[in-house]
Amino acid sequence: MEKRRILLLGATGYTGRRVLRELLARGEKPTLVGRSRTKMLTLADRFEAKLPVAEVDVTSSAHLTRLLGPSDVVVSTVGPFMQLGMATVTAAARAGARYFDSTGEGPFARRVLLELDSVAAARGATLVPAFGYDYVPGNLAGALALEQAGERACHVEIGYFITRSGRGSELRYRSTLRDSWDLTTGGTRQTLVAAAAEDGFAYRSPRPGASSRLVDERAAKRVLTFRYAGVRRPAMTVPGTEHLGLPEVFPQLESVEVGMGWLGRWTRPVQIAAMLQAPLLRSAKVRAALTRWSGRLPGAHREPDTDGRSLVIAVARDGHGRPLATTALTGPDPYEMTGSLLAWGAVHAAAPDAVLKPGVHGPVAAFGLDTLRLGAAEAGVHEVDGALARR
């Protein structure tokens, strides 16, 4: 069987360029897919690479369906995904292709699961949305903590944090509101604002005695607290693919909590502000205006600082809430991590002998824990030695 073709959508954007660089470093020659043939050829020349290009409307499922085939691996960085992403993933599902994307929008991943899981399974397609910083390291850290804790673990909490290199101990660095600005792109901030206007979800029992399942819940409804390396870190709850993927692998789970802890001591004030504005966001006009405003924020075209780092913490608990195991992962900044993970996932999926589980899955179910752990290590994501954290 021949190696599968890799198609990259959104290569001219900030994250897309990161993915392209990583693919080229691995000796791949991906097909660039987008609306502007000129821009894609110019980009290929900048990397001194001769690459095939396909000029199509990436928001048209019909156009993409004609392009994709069952032997293709599709990587998309075209967002915001709730607005622009369904055409690509739908075409990939119908074609029987293998699909990865860079979304951090939990509601998009949930929509893909609800609408395309049966289609993908029937066509032999494997769809793994959010295959980057959001939310591969959280899925991996959660799975490692749950595996270590054993069958008594029925709750898991996962927190995402950003740190900086060269600022003392990374494990003890406390992020600030300024970090969430300096270490992100305008596109990320626009996506975060847009996601705040969408309905969120969580994984838990909707009422005492009922089976756990996905339940509707707005983002930032609660604040989680993580204590690690002598530092207390708050994090606002967000909808992640951990809610979708970890219960598939660990069916004993009764709850999955995911938190975003980029804001440091501003977490609680921002969470309260989000709670107060929630009624306004029920208006479609307000949501549309908020999305337009977020795209005009100052610094929209400024690239992030280069000293950012990532820290992801997972805590597995028993039925009484007592901690059984804690796992922490460190890695490069969210954009470098996303580029490396997407490139690794695409190359692995393109191998002639690669076997992936058909349907819509989280990264652990799609690849298996051992394979994902090795792939994450290739992307610079490593487990922290517990003894080091206690120093």
Concatenated DSSP letters of 324-348? EEEEEEEEE-HHHHHHHHHHHHHHH
Q: Do 202 and 325 sit in the same domain of this protein?
A: yes
Do 275 and 126 share a structural domain?
Answer: no
- For residue 270, give its domain range: 136-333+376-389
CATH number at residue 187: 3.30.360.10
Average pLDDT in the 280-308 region? 67
pLDDT at 183: 76
Mapped onto helix, strand or coil, the DSSP state of residue 308 is: strand
- 121 lies in the same domain as 184: no
Residue 360 and residue 381 share a domain: no
Q: What is the pLDDT of residues 184-219, one digit of tens each?
A: 776 676 666 655 556 789 999 988 878 999 999 988
Q: What average pLDDT does the structure give for the chain?
A: 90
User: How many domains, in total, are found in the chain?
Assistant: 2
| pLDDT score at 3 | 85
Tokens 């090795």 belong to 374
Query: Residue 23 carries which DSSP code?
Result: H
Q: Which amino acid is at 97?
A: A
E-only strand ranges, the chain = 5-9, 31-34, 53-55, 72-76, 98-101, 126-128, 155-164, 201-204, 213-216, 223-228, 231-237, 255-260, 308-317, 323-332, 359-360, 382-383
CB of 189 within 8 A of CB of 298? no
> Same structural domain for residues 308 and 353?
no
Least confident of 13-17, 142-146, 243-247, 300-304: 300-304
Average pLDDT over residues 149-163: 96
Evaluate if residue 168 carries a pLDDT over 60: no
Q: Is the pLDDT of residue 369 over 60?
A: yes
Question: For residue 39, what are the contacts with CB-CB under 8 A and spacing of at least 6?
Answer: 12
Reply yes or no on whether the pLDDT at 80 is more than 60.
yes
- Using CA atoms, how far residue 278 sits from 128, 140, 297, in Å, is 30, 31, 21
Phi, psi of 235 (to 5 degrees): -150, 135
Residues 148 and 264 placed together within one structural domain of the fold:
yes
Residue 227, beta-bridge partner list = 232
Q: Is the domain of 142 the same as that of 254?
A: yes
Q: In the block, which residue shows the tokens 């270590």? A: 148
**Res 294: pLDDT:** 58
In angstroms, the Cα distances linking 355 to 237, 335, 348 are 34, 27, 9
- Cα dihedral across residues 40, 45, 46, 47: positive or negative: positive
pLDDT tens for each residue of 60-75: 999 999 999 999 999 9
388 falls in which pLDDT band (50, 70, 90)?
A: low
pLDDT score recorded for residue 240: 96
pLDDT band at residue 365 using 50, 70 and 90 as cut-offs: very high
Q: Tokens standing for 25?
A: 């470093």
Q: Which H or E element spans position 187?
A: helix 186-196
d(CA 200, CA 37): 37
140: pLDDT strictly greater than 60: yes
Q: Is the same domain home to 126 and 147?
A: no
Interhelix angle 136-149/369-378, nearest 10 degrees: 130
What's the rounded mean pLDDT across residues 285-290? 65
pLDDT recorded at residue 199:
72
CATH number at residue 19: 3.40.50.720
Question: 279: pLDDT confidence band, cut at 50, 70 and 90?
Answer: low
Query: What pLDDT is attached to residue 299?
Result: 58
* Phi (first) and psi of residue 158, to 5 degrees: -130, 130
Percent of the chain at pLDDT exceeding 90: 73
pLDDT digits (tens, 9 = 90+) for 82-127: 999 999 999 999 999 999 999 999 999 999 999 999 999 999 999 9
Q: The whole model's pTM is what?
A: 0.93
- For residues 161 and 30, membership in a common domain is answered with no
The fraction of the chain above a pLDDT of 70, given in percent, is 88
Positive or negative CA dihedral for 136, 138, 141, 143?
negative
| Mean pLDDT of the 262-266 span | 88
Q: Are residues 170 and 291 in the same domain?
A: yes
How much is the pLDDT for 280? 65
pLDDT-based confidence at residue 134 (cuts at 50, 70, 90):
very high
pLDDT at 197: 57
Encode 348-361: b = buried (16+ Cβ within 10 Å), e = exposed. bbbeeebebebbbb
* Cα 25 to Cα 19, 240, 344, 346, distances in angstroms: 10, 30, 11, 13
Average pLDDT for 362-391: 89
